Amino acid sequence: MSQAPGAQPSPPSVYHERQRLELCAVHALNNVLQQQLFTQEAADEICKRSLSQLALPQVLGLILNLPSPVSLGLLSLPLRRRHWVALRQVDGVYYNLDSKLRAPEALGDEDGVRTFLAAALAQGLCEVLLVVTKEVEEKGGWLRTD
């Protein structure tokens, strides 16, 4: 069947979730997959489950995006901002290298950094970025296979 002269083809049906709360990562996943496959709860569960599977020796560092309270002196304001924090292992010890700290904070060994990450994730609205070499990324070596 041919179209009438000058008629425009109908646009394809495109799945698109609009922003709700601060769930942009969930919306981005669903938008790329073109259907609602992920919920906030499912995404949170994946993050918690993957935490124990991280091959930390293969990770150069971690960067966390956390909620950060806003205050004026002793007065805490009901506003929330986001803050980026770096974690890194140096000579076998993991450190919190938060730029708001006066000095690096030792987190200890792998168990210590996992405990810190679990606490950060439990606060909610936490994002974790892994910094790895290109080789580790290409091989997926940042996850344990056992």
Better-predicted residue by pLDDT, 40 or 104: 104
Residue boundaries of the structural domains of the chain: 39-136
Residue 80's pLDDT band (cuts 50, 70, 90): low
pTM of the model: 0.66
Whether CATH 3.30.1330.10 fits 39-136: no
Mean pLDDT over residues 105-116, rounded?
Answer: 95
Q: Is the pLDDT of residue 106 over 90?
A: yes
Helix (H) / strand (E) containing 12: none
106 and 97 in contact (C-beta within 8 Å)?
A: no
Q: Point out which residues pair with 108 in neighbouring strands.
A: 94
Mean pLDDT over residues 116-144, rounded?
Answer: 84
87 and 94 in contact (C-beta within 8 Å)?
A: yes
Integer Cα distance of 93 and 106 in angstroms:
7
Q: What positions carry a catalytic annotation?
A: 24, 83
